[in-house]
Amino acid sequence: MKNIEKRAFSDCESLKSVSLPEGFERLGESAFSGCAELKDLTIASCTDFGIGAFSGCVSLESLTLGDVDAIGESGFAYCKSLKSVTMGENVHKIGREAFSQCSALFELKLGSGVSEVGESAFRECALLESVEFSEQIEKIGARAFQSCPNLKSVRIPEGLTVLQKSTFENCTHLTEVELSTGLTSIEDNAFYGCESLSSVDLPDHLQKIGSSVFRGCSELKKIQIPNTVTEIGSFSFYACGLEEISIGTSLTKIENYLFYECGQLESVEIPGNIEEIGTNAFCSCSALKELTIKTGVKEIATMAFSDCASLASVRIEKGLEKIDVQAFSGCSALTKIDFVGTEQEWGQVTKSSNWCDSEPQIEYVVESTNDPNEDDEPKKETDPDQGTEEDESNPGTDDPKESE
């Protein structure tokens, strides 16, 4: 026998064991789906694996795959008793949702020949603790391991260049991640809600970090953005436990809500390669005390630093062109801003009439001329009357979830 047709043994409730021999070729769609008593399965060979072939076999506990080129879409989905899978070296592809919601699967070692894991392939495998990828892996699909709450550590092999959307979203016990050094892009929500993730080293060739990638990673204490990164999407570090950030030299904008509610962050330096600090970028960073904005930054957008109640030290260097609506609203500890420049240069900065409600004094810092006859300490002049140049209405506070 080389072929089994579509739904041939579907819902055979008394079937307990299946062995497909060497030379077997085609397994039809849903061929054994819903066989509630099937416990043991061996597939020596199969070249055409139909959709949902063994889906819903709720008693299936072990699986051995031999010369099987690809595991079809939803091939073993909802096999809630499946604990172990043995894959031969000839398995090259694991299809979309192939093992989705196999809630008893706790350990996974992919065959040495597996190069592709499909979308949602292991989504909601509640007991899965570890995954060992083959070095041949080239693609891991979106949501492949989404909502695997017991997954603790992951090592991404060198061949992977793109980490797709929501790959490890809501893996709440994931503590360790080792990323491929060749990784160039991490797509939206890849580690969203990984609340136990405490550290991650971003590789030197990384170019893009999508939206909400590390959102809600409350144990993540430190992030160093490589100099190769040119794009980071909004919300990517929203509500993280960050205490230290380092911003690379190729980034030109800090996106909206990027570091929103990073409540452990105490000090920030915005480098001169950043031209714009986006809306609500550092809003509600309640522990933020010190802020330095280097020469090159042109715009501080609406509510960028609003509700940073501990912010007491701000230094702004030359080149700033605009401070937008409520940029520093709710910064009750901010009584003084050091501006590296003259009163005339500060006056040339376009400021909303309600850019800061604490009405800080502006102290003008005169840069050292390196004249040996002069004191090395910068000179300061205080502006008792700041004035404003632009009157804009109060925009209110947007719900960040509605802004996505």
Residue 386 pLDDT greater than 70, yes or no: no
Structure confidence at residue 86 as a pLDDT band (50, 70, 90): confident
Alpha-carbon dihedral angle through residues 78, 81, 87, 92, given to the nearest 10 degrees:
10
Mean pLDDT across the stretch 61-73?
93
Mean pLDDT across the stretch 294-311?
98
Mean pLDDT across the stretch 191-214?
97
Distance, in Å, from the CA atom of 288 to the CA atom of 245, rounded to the nearest integer, reads 12
- From residue 262, alpha-carbon distances to 5, 300, 357 in Å are 56, 18, 22
- From residue 196, alpha-carbon distances to 11, 23, 171, 199, 260 in Å are 41, 47, 9, 9, 19
Structural tokens at position 283: 């809003």
Q: What integer pLDDT is reported at residue 396 of this predicted model?
A: 45
Q: What integer pLDDT is reported at residue 370 of this predicted model?
A: 56
Q: Which fold has domain 252-396?
A: 3.80.10
Q: What integer pLDDT is reported at residue 14 of this predicted model?
A: 92
* Phi-psi region at 207: left, alpha or beta (left = phi > 0; alpha = psi -120 to 50): alpha
Mean pLDDT across the stretch 371-389?
49
Structure confidence at residue 219 as a pLDDT band (50, 70, 90): very high
Outline where DSSP puts E strands in 271-383.
Answer: 276-277, 290-293, 299-300, 313-316, 322-323, 336-340, 350-351, 361-366, 379-383
Residue whose pair of structure tokens reads 């070729």 in the numeric block = 25
pLDDT digits over 260-302, tens only?
999 999 999 999 999 999 999 999 999 999 999 999 999 999 9
Mean pLDDT across the stretch 44-70?
94
Q: What integer pLDDT is reported at residue 275 of this predicted model?
A: 98
Residue 223 pLDDT greater than 90, yes or no: yes
Q: Domain spanning 1-126: which superfamily?
A: Ribonuclease Inhibitor (3.80.10.10)
Bridge partners of 381? Answer: 364
Mean pLDDT across the stretch 95-117?
93
Residue whose pair of structure tokens reads 């990027």 in the numeric block = 258
Is residue 342 within 8 A of residue 317, CB to CB? The reply is: no
- Overall pTM surpassing 0.75 (yes/no): yes
| Radius of gyration, alpha carbons of the chain | 28
Distance, in Å, from the CA atom of 376 to the CA atom of 272, rounded to the nearest integer, reads 23
pLDDT digits over 160-201, tens only?
999 999 999 999 999 999 999 999 999 999 999 999 999 999
Mean pLDDT across the stretch 215-225?
97
Q: What integer pLDDT is reported at residue 371 of this predicted model?
A: 52
Listed in order, the ranges of the chain carrying CATH 3.80.10.10 are 1-126, 252-396
Mean pLDDT across the stretch 315-328?
97
Mean pLDDT across the stretch 88-93?
91
Mean pLDDT across the stretch 29-49?
95
If you average pLDDT over every residue of the chain, what do you get?
91
